[in-house]
Amino acid sequence: MAIYSGGGVIIMITSVKKNYNKYNNEFESYELTRDGITMCVPLDEANTDYQAIQEWAKIEGNNIIDNGA
């Protein structure tokens, strides 16, 4: 699914998964796959990848994968 980010840049997000801390089981980041690249995105509202995930998740049919802690 394509979304628009700041400056009109088109970003192709393939998947988003929640990452949990293996020691305390707290949700700590997202695993984002976009434009064929997988990266870890912190839970930081100022982060542009975090913002893109939030907008992507609002689109019907896009679901963040949550396999639990």
The string of pLDDT tens digits covering residues 13-69 is: 999 999 999 999 999 999 999 888 999 999 999 998 999 999 999 989 999 999 886
pTM of the model: 0.83
Contact 65/18 with Cβ under 8 angstroms?
yes
Per-residue model confidence (pLDDT) at position 1: 53
Token pair 């994968």 is found at 65
Contact 30/64 with Cβ under 8 angstroms?
yes
The tokens for 47 are 């982060």
Token pair 């088109």 is found at 10
